[in-house]
Amino acid sequence: MNGNILTDESILKGMSCVGRPPLHQRHCYLECNTSGQTLGDIDSLGNFPNLMYIDISDNQITTLKSLSFIPMLVQLNAR
């Protein structure tokens, strides 16, 4: 696999937009931008199931399988 592995630290740096997702009323981060980080592995995003907007563009990602663990995802930028 080419590229870097996405860490929880990198995810937290890319977090923005705090709100309440539709299925529960607790506040949490809803958006994550990890674009342009030469990532090849984004499995760690599966640990954040409340994300609704993700930008993983301009990376070296070969699979989006880990995003199947994010049921609230409504917008993905992966160009």
What pLDDT sits at residue 23? 79
Q: Which two tokens mark 66?
A: 């880990």
* Residue 24, helix vs strand vs coil: coil
Q: Which of 12, 15, 17, 11 is nearest to 39 (CA)?
A: 11
pTM: 0.89
Query: Is the model's pLDDT at 13 over the cut of 80?
Result: yes
Beta-bridge partners for 41: 5
Q: What is the pLDDT of residues 37-76, one digit of tens each?
A: 999 999 999 999 999 999 999 999 999 999 999 999 999 9
Q: Which two tokens mark 17?
A: 């937009």
